[in-house]
């Protein structure tokens, strides 16, 4: 019984590491116009787990939030953008909300 309790406690202690990030940010090359932003938004919103998307042409940044408890693997995101003709330089998972990313982008101009 002690062994079972230990295993359960160990499993529960790893749960915070399995919670998806609030925001996924991707640095992308090839973003040049509003049509690019619109196409990327449409492509990323096609994922059932996507809650919202922000594209910054100036910062060459694509950010998205996922629905509660859901995630999108980095490979799937990279493939979606690469297939659309963009180069993904980096993918970061942040605890910052997508609204905070919007504010940061707006204040950086």
* HEC readout, the chain: CHHHHHHHHHHHHCHHHHCCCCEEEEEEECCCCHHHHHHHHHHHHCCCCEEEEEEECCCCEEEEEECCCCCCCHHHHHHHHHHCCCEEEEEEEECCCHHHHHHHHHHCC
pLDDT value of residue 2: 55
Question: pLDDT (tens digit, 9 = 90+) per residue, 54-101?
Answer: 999 999 999 999 999 999 999 999 999 999 999 999 999 999 999 999
pTM of the predicted protein model? 0.78
The domain over range 20-107 is classified in CATH as 3.40.50.1000: no
Domain boundaries, the chain: 20-107
Is the pLDDT at 12 greater than 90? The verdict is: no
pLDDT at 103 exceeding the cut of 80: yes
């Amino acid at each position: 019984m002690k062994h079972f309790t230990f295993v359960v406690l160990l499993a529960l202690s790893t749960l915070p590491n399995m919670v998806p990030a609030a925001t996924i940010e991707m640095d992308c090359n090839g973003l040049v116009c509003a049509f690019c932003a619109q196409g990327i938004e449409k492509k990323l919103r096609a994922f059932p787990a996507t809650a919202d998307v922000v594209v910054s042409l100036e910062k060459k940044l694509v950010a998205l939030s996922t629905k509660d408890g859901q995630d999108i693997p980095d490979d799937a995101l990279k493939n979606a953008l690469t297939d659309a003709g963009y180069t993904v330089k980096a993918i970061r998972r942040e605890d910052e909300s997508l609204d905070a990313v919007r504010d940061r982008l707006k204040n950086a101009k």
